[in-house]
Amino acid sequence: MEVEKEVITSASLDEANVIRQMPVALSNKIAAGEVVQRPASAVKELMENSLDAGAQEITLFLKGAGSELIQVVDNGCGMSRQDARICLNRHATSKIRGIEDLDSIRTFGFRGEALSSIAAIANVTLRTKRAGDEMGTEVSVDGSEVGTVTPIAAADGTSVTVRNIFYNVPARRNFLKKPSTELKHILDSVHVLAMANPSVSFRIVSDGNELLNFRASSAENNLDALSERIGDVLSLKSLHNLLSVRETTSYLSVSGFIGRPESVRRSRGQQFLFVNGRSVRHRYLEHAIFSAYEYLVPDGTYPLFAVFLSIDPRHVDVNVHPTKAEVKFDDERGVYSILRTIVRKTLGTAEIIPDAGDAIPLKGLKLDFDAIKKESYDGYNSGWSPGQVSEQLYNAPLTGLPSRSSEAGEELAPRESSGAGSSAELLWQLHDAYVLTQIRTGLVIVDQQAAHERILYEKALESLSDGFGLSQQLLFPRTLEFDAADFVLLQELIPDLRSLGFDLEQFGGRSIMLRGVPADMVAGDERSVLDEVLEQYKHFEVVEQLTGHENLARSIARKSAVKPGKRLSHREMRALIDQLFLCSTPYSSPGGRPTIVKLSVDELRERFNKKL
Ligand code: ADP
Ligand code: MG
C-alpha cells in the first residue's frame, strides 16, 4: 500500500500550532541560561577561547565584579573578518565539523555556544586581528542581532568586551550576589585555568587595581612549571610540601602534585582535578585521592592536590554537562583504583612521617607526628586497629613537640645525622636484616623481609581485586617455554597475573610472550620471576592449601620481598617503614610472623637494674 509522504515545511509546522520553531533570539537566551550563570561563567568561556586560540598572555579587565564590564584580551591567533562576523552565531565553531570529532575533543570549546550565548544576554564588542592581516575587525552585537562590522586598526589577537551582563534577564541580574562573592567566583575560574596552563601568563585588573599577575613559567619541565604555578595560585611560601606524581599506565597517565599530609587544610578549596586539561568535579575520583590519605590526616581536613589525568578521549565523555565540568569514564572503577594506588605509592615512598621538628602546628590543630608513630607502634601491643589508632590520636588533645623522654636512649643512640635531634632520621640496619629506629618510648626493630612481604602482599591483593597492577615494560619481550603441567596452571592464572601487572600472552605451543612485569618486582632477572612465582604458588598450594588470590599474593610477596643479606640505603629504609604503616595490618607478615619488635626504655632500664 502506498503511503503518501508528508513534506515538512515551516508553513506546515505553523499550522500544527502547538509546537513552534523558536525565534533565534529566544532560543539563544535560553541556551545562555545554561552556559552563562554568572559573570564568572562568561570569564571562563572567554578565557577558554583565548587558550584554544593559543594565547600566551591573557588579561582580564573587570568593572563592578564583572557586572558592568568583563573584557578579555589575548594575543592568540585572532580571526578573519568572515569568522569574526559569524562567530557570534549559535553553533558557529571552528573546533568540530562532524559527529566523529565528538570523540576526540581536545580543545575547551566545541559547541559554538559560548559567544552567541553571551551576546544574547549582554552588549558584546569583539575586536580581532590575525598576525598576517593588515587591518583588524570590530563586531558589535546587542541581544543576538549582529550590529556593526567595522575594519579597525588593532593589535594581533582578540579582545572581547562584555558590558551589562544580564541587562535583558532581570531575574538573573537581580540575583547576582554581592560583588565580593562574584569576584571570588571569577578568581576561582581563573585559578583553575591558570593551573592547567602554567606556560601562559594571566593578569586581572579589577576596577583599576591589579588583582592577580601570574607570570608564564620559564621552566622547561612541565612539572616544574606546574609547581611554580601552584605556588602562585595557592600563595605558598615554599614548595616543600608538594610531592610530585607521575605515572603512566596503558589506560591513563597521571601527573601533578599532592600535598604532604601535614599540609592539610580545613576546606576543599585547594583541590584541582583535570582530565585532559579540563577542570572537572568528580566526587568519586576526589574520594580516590582522599582515601589514599586514610589514617594520615585528621577527619574533617583535606589534602591539597593538583592532579592531571590524561586519557584517550575515547574513554571519556565530556559532553554530559552544559558547562562541561563533569565527565564520565567508561571504566570509573578502574580510574578510581589506578588513582588511589598512585597517590598511595607517592605517599608511601615519600617521607610521609616527618621528623618531630617538622610537625607544623596548623591553625587550631596541633599534630604531633612523633606521637602518631609512637601510637601506631604501640598499637601493635595493645591490639588497636589502625583506624582506632588514628581516631584516638586525632581526638586526643595533642600537645606540642614531644619531650625527649629518656636521657638513656638519647645518650646511647648512635646518630646518623647530627641534625637538630630529628628522631625520624635515626635509622640503622643491623646485620643487613633488621631496620632499627628510635621512637619516643624506646626502640623498634623491623624485620626487613617480613615487613616487605606485608607491603607487597597488600599491594598484590589490591591489584588482584581491582585489576590494575602497574606494569613495567621489558626492553625486550621474552618468549618463555613451559612444561605441560606448568602451562596448564599458567593458563588458569593468566587473568590474575595480568591484574598484578604481568603483561603476557599465549604464544603458540606451550610458550608465552612476556612483555612486562609488575612494577614492584625487584629489578633483576625478569625471566625467572614468573617461574619462581609459579614454583612458590605450587608450594603454597600443597603445603598450606592456599588457593586463588590469597596464594598468588603470598607467592608474589614471598618472591619479590627483600631478603636478609640485602643492604638497604637510608631511603629504602625510610620507604620500608613508611609503606609498612600504610598497610592495613602492618604488624605481621602475610604468613603471621611479626614484622616489628619493640624494646621500651623502661624495659632497658629494668635490664640494667636502674631504679625507675
Ligand atoms: P566554541 O569555543 O565552542 O567553538 P564559541 O562560541 O566559544 O564556541 O566560539 C566560537 C568560535 O569563535 C570559536 O570556534 C573560534 O573559532 C572563534 N573564537 C572565539 N574566541 C576566540 C579568540 N579569543 N581567538 C580566536 N578565535 C576565537
Ligand atoms: Mg568557546
Amino acid 163: pLDDT? 96
Ligand 1 binding pocket includes 102 (Cβ within 6 Å): no
Total count of residues recorded for the chain: 612
- From atom 25 of ligand 1, which residue's Cα is the shortest distance away? 78
Ligand nearest to the CA of 116: 1
Amino acid 111: pLDDT? 61
Amino acid 137: pLDDT? 96
Ligand 1 binding pocket includes 157 (Cβ within 6 Å): no
Where do we find the cell 606521637? 371
Amino acid 388: pLDDT? 30
Ligand 1 binding pocket includes 105 (Cβ within 6 Å): no
Which residues are within 8 A (CB) of 330 and not within 5 positions of it... i.e. 6 or more apart? Answer: 315, 316, 317
Amino acid 200: pLDDT? 97
Per DSSP, the residues of 284-324 read HHHHHHHHHTTTTS-TT-B--EEEEEEE-GGGEE-TTSTTS
- Closest atom of ligand 1 to CA, residue 96: 4
pTM of the model: 0.58
Amino acid 606: pLDDT? 82
Ligand nearest to the CA of 79: 1
Question: What CA–CA distance (Å, rounded) separates 390 from 396?
Answer: 10
Pocket test for ligand 1, best of 36, 49, 94, 118 (most atoms within 8 A of CB): 49
DSSP-based three-state secondary structure for 265 = strand
Ligand nearest to the CA of 136: 1
Amino acid 263: pLDDT? 79
Pocket test for ligand 1, best of 87, 127, 324 (most atoms within 8 A of CB): 87
Pocket test for ligand 1, best of 70, 93, 156 (most atoms within 8 A of CB): 93
Ligand 1 binding pocket includes 114 (Cβ within 6 Å): yes
Identify whether the C-beta of residue 80 lies closer than 8 Å to the C-beta of residue 151. no
Ligand nearest to the CA of 85: 1
The low-confidence residues of the chain, meaning pLDDT below 50, are 1-3, 7-16, 110, 351-408, 410-424
Distance 49 CA to ligand 2 centre (A): 5
Amino acid 274: pLDDT? 94
DSSP-based three-state secondary structure for 504 = strand
Amino acid 164: pLDDT? 94
Ligand 1 binding pocket includes 53 (Cβ within 6 Å): yes
Question: What CA–CA distance (Å, rounded) separates 133 from 152?
Answer: 11
- From atom 13 of ligand 1, which residue's Cα is the shortest distance away? 93
Ligand 1 binding pocket includes 86 (Cβ within 6 Å): no
